[in-house]
């Protein structure tokens, strides 16, 4: 049996998007959030860049919030993640807002680097394969949402962005602490995929004992 120490890892999953970034945490705190802004791509250039900078800051701020650890009289506590898992940016122009989406990704990663928070990127097909066993399932969004409802029901009712974020956070917790709810073989298979870009130095793992 695997048991988390009291000071469990704080892992964050991010499915980044302009109108809706899905965020989920795993480890000691399990929660989700939606952060976004409509109409960003329609703003004048300078306003657009500034809006995306602000959106990146808001996402990174949310990645640090752990409400159950808040001291008295404070709504939230501030805790640096041990690892942030990001869905790799989709570079197809077919989805629209390509330049803006890439800027948002870099605003987030630049802030994480400045704060010395390790992060990894996971292609969409890999996170979906981890959740369902098949990275090419169709329709992928519905299959992942259904898998999340079964495997991680404590998160409640989620949209597709939050569901992807839950899977990303779960993958990070699995990588750091060996804790997973997917079958052992699936965990080993999909976490070993070479298209995942892990940080050069993963955090040491003092959180699990047998």
Asked if residue 42 has pLDDT above 50, the reply is: yes
Among residues 163, 127, 169, 134, the alpha carbon closest in space to that of 148 is found at 163
Query: What is the rounded CA–CA span in Å between residue 53 and residue 26?
Result: 26
Element (H, E) at 169: helix 160-177
* pLDDT tens-place string over residues 20-33: 999 999 987 889 99
Asked if residue 140 has pLDDT above 70, the reply is: no
Structure tokens at 132: 């369902």
| Dihedral sign of CA atoms 119, 86, 56, 44 in order | positive
pTM for this model (two decimals) = 0.90
Query: What is the rounded CA–CA span in Å between residue 157 and residue 65?
Result: 20
Query: What is the rounded CA–CA span in Å between residue 65 and residue 165?
Result: 16
- Burial (CB count within 10 angstroms: exposed 0-12, middle 13-18, buried 19+), residue 186: middle
Q: How far is CA 91 from CA 67, 84, 88, 98, 114, in A?
A: 34, 20, 9, 7, 25
| Dihedral sign of CA atoms 126, 130, 131, 134 in order | positive
Q: Which residue has the tokens 């299959």?
A: 143
Mean pLDDT across 79-103? 85
**Average pLDDT value over all residues in the chain:** 87
* pLDDT tens-place string over residues 92-115: 666 678 899 999 999 999 999 999
**Where do the domains of the chain lie, and which CATH numbers do they carry?**
10-205 (3.30.420.10)
């Amino acid at each position: 049996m695997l048991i988390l120490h009291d000071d469990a890892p704080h892992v964050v999953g991010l499915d980044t998007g302009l109108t809706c970034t899905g965020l989920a945490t795993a480890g000691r705190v399990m929660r989700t959030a939606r952060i976004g802004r409509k109409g960003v791509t329609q703003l004048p250039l300078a306003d657009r860049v500034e809006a995306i900078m602000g959106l990146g800051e808001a996402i990174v701020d949310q990645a640090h919030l752990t409400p159950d650890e808040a001291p008295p009289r404070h709504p939230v506590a501030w805790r640096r993640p041990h690892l942030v898992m990001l869905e790799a940016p989709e570079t197809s122009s077919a989805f629209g807002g390509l330049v803006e989406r890439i800027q948002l990704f870099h605003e987030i990663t630049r802030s994480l680097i400045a704060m010395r928070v390790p992060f990894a990127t996971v292609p969409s097909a890999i996170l979906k394969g981890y959740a369902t066993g098949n990275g090419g399932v169709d329709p992928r969004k519905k299959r992942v949402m259904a898998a999340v409802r079964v495997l991680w029901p404590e998160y409640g009712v989620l949209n597709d962005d939050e569901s992807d974020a839950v899977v990303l956070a779960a993958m990070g917790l699995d990588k750091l602490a060996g804790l997973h709810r997917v079958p052992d073989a699936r965990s080993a298979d999909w976490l070993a995929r070479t298209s995942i870009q892990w940080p050069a130095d993963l955090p040491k793992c003092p959180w699990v004992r047998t």
